[in-house]
Amino acid sequence: MNHTIKALEWRYAVKAFDPNHKLTDHQVEGIKKVLNLTASSYGLQPFKFVFVDNVEKREQLLAYSFKQRQVIDASHLLIMAIETNVDDNFVESYLDNISETRKVEKDNLTQFGAMMKGSIGNLDQDGKESWAKNQAYIALGNILTYCAVEGIDTCPMEGFVADAYDEILGFHEMGLKSVLVVPLGIRSSEDQYQNLPKVRRQTDDIIKHI
Amino acid sequence: MNHTIKALEWRYAVKAFDPNHKLTDHQVEGIKKVLNLTASSYGLQPFKFVFVDNVEKREQLLAYSFKQRQVIDASHLLIMAIETNVDDNFVESYLDNISETRKVEKDNLTQFGAMMKGSIGNLDQDGKESWAKNQAYIALGNILTYCAVEGIDTCPMEGFVADAYDEILGFHEMGLKSVLVVPLGIRSSEDQYQNLPKVRRQTDDIIKHI
């Protein structure tokens, strides 16, 4: 069994983090790098990744997290948020970035830009947000795997009151909506969940060949 | 820079696969294992992963893939599909699995079962499908990272005619809907896209601290 598979077997949704264990700056830098490397639709990256360092804010968030103390006890609290204003300007910034990074004239990107603007412009606000949310879930899959390989524990959370999070974190003003909460740190040795066998469907049940 | 970050830098959405290069059985077994290890909401795994081995079917699918020849040329063609009937029976099967795997009485899982049934039962069919689709995107993030680490190339595709795919693959009868297409294989040495610098937002633009 290779290292990544072993790491994914080792991973579980941590219920109790060790509150005394802090991730190193080096570990956090790696996580940031990996988040930014996440694949996304057209490469548009319609998301932001917000670390809540402020202890008071984390305590406020707990009240909207269905008593999941990971929000407080984990070394770092990462919120994955979607951009709510993915409009033509957003696409233009991306084209500027491509032009600069790849040293191509922006005129050569007109067709690609029109295609993105058309495809996203055809969606209503709900559609845009669902599309952006899907991209955030790619980032989640990416970071869960990366962290497991690095021996960093995580707990992906969909169960939180997103409106309250957005209010507390000032996301409205930032043009963001929170979609996922990911406490990061090291598991407590007392978390009994780490000892439970992983439950998965039989390979033949979940994988098909046609 | 660690190995995973290097691998993610190496990864790109492959435009041209080497049609002569086939993944080994060992590589494919690893991919299957990793797909099944993907985290999901409550651990419910509301998805299936379908490999299309049938060459005629792959040719039929090309017509509904906006001319993306990866569907034909990649060594393997993986379709990520959601389960369309995540109902109380689906939850019960999961509880049976937990009970068996962890050697706990099913009676002890009643509360957990009621919670899942309530939370999913509250969603209308569209809501259920969006929820399941999000989970498939976790699998996508997971497998893109895994494959990169293993030196396996991928091309995540949202651009395909899902209804036509479902029809060709008989997904209606299987209670599935296709949501993502992931050709897997080895890049052609002639694919110029592999030489382009990766375009990403500045770390300070995509990562925030509060």
**Residues B99-136: pLDDT tens digits?**
999 999 999 999 999 999 999 999 999 999 999 999 99
Q: What is the pTM of this model?
A: 0.98
Whether chain B has a CB inside 8 Å of the CB on A137: the answer is yes
User: How many domains, in total, are found in chain A?
Assistant: 1
CB A181 within 8 A of CB A13: no
Chain mean pLDDT for chain A:
97
Q: Does A104 have pLDDT greater than 90?
A: yes
Q: Does B199 have pLDDT greater than 90?
A: yes
CA-wise closest residue to B80 among B165, B149, B153, B11: B165
Query: What pLDDT is stored for residue B7 in this prediction?
Result: 98
What lies within 8 Å, CB to CB, of A89 at 6+ separation is none
Say which of A97, A143, A145 has its CB closest to residue B199: A97
* Whole-Å CA distances, B177 to A19, A110, A207: 42, 34, 14
Percent of chain A with pLDDT over 70: 100
Query: What pLDDT is stored for residue B154 in this prediction?
Result: 98
Q: Average the pLDDT over A46-67 and give the result.
A: 97
Distance separating alpha carbons of residues A63 and A60, to the nearest angstrom:
6
Burial A65-75 (b: 16+ CB within 10 A, else e): beebebbbbbb
Dig out the tokens for B41 from the structure: 């909401």
* Whole-Å CA distances, B117 to A58, A118, B108, B128: 30, 39, 16, 12
Query: What pLDDT is stored for residue B166 in this prediction?
Result: 98
Query: What pLDDT is stored for residue A84 in this prediction?
Result: 97
* A45–B5 C-beta distance less than 8 A: no
**Chain B partners of A5 at a C-beta cutoff of 8 Å?**
30, 33-34, 37
The amino acid at A118: G
Which one-letter DSSP state was computed for residue B105?
Answer: -
Residue B143, domain extent: 3-206
Which one-letter DSSP state was computed for residue A150?
Answer: T
Mutate to test the interface with B, among A40, A134, A203, A205 (most CBs of B within 10 A): A134
Which one-letter DSSP state was computed for residue B13?
Answer: B
Chain mean pLDDT for chain B:
97
DSSP string of A20-54?
A: T----HHHHHHHHHHHHH---GGG---EEEEE---
- Give the pLDDT band (50/70/90) at residue A85: very high
Whether chain B has a CB inside 8 Å of the CB on A135: the answer is yes
CA distance A9 to chain B (A): 7
Helix, strand, or coil (residue A172): helix
Identify each DSSP E strand in B116-172 by its residue range: 153-154
Dig out the tokens for B48 from the structure: 């299936």
- Give the pLDDT band (50/70/90) at residue A33: very high
CB A71 within 8 A of CB A178: no
- CATH number of the domain that B13 lies in? 3.40.109.10
Q: Are strands A153-154 and A176-185 parallel, antiparallel or unpaired?
A: antiparallel
Distance separating alpha carbons of residues B168 and B174, to the nearest angstrom:
12
Distance separating alpha carbons of residues A150 and B142, to the nearest angstrom:
14
Which one-letter DSSP state was computed for residue A80?
Answer: E
Helix, strand, or coil (residue A207): strand
- Give the pLDDT band (50/70/90) at residue A72: very high
**Chain B partners of A36 at a C-beta cutoff of 8 Å?**
200-201, 203, 206-207
Q: What confidence tens digit (pLDDT) does each residue in B68-105 have?
A: 999 999 999 999 999 999 999 999 999 999 999 999 99
CB B4 within 8 A of CB B145: yes
Q: What confidence tens digit (pLDDT) does each residue in A110-132 have?
A: 999 999 999 999 999 999 999 99
The amino acid at B176: L
- Which residue of chain A comes nearest to B133, CA vs CA? A134
- Give the pLDDT band (50/70/90) at residue A181: very high
- Give the pLDDT band (50/70/90) at residue B5: very high
Say which of B5, B156, B169 has its CB closest to residue A210: B169
Query: What pLDDT is stored for residue B207 in this prediction?
Result: 98
* In chain B, residues 18-37 whose CB comes closer than 8 Å to chain A: 30, 32-37
Q: What is the ipTM of this complex?
A: 0.97
* B170–A102 C-beta distance less than 8 A: no
Q: Does A107 have pLDDT greater than 80?
A: yes
The amino acid at A106: K
**Chain A partners of B143 at a C-beta cutoff of 8 Å?**
141
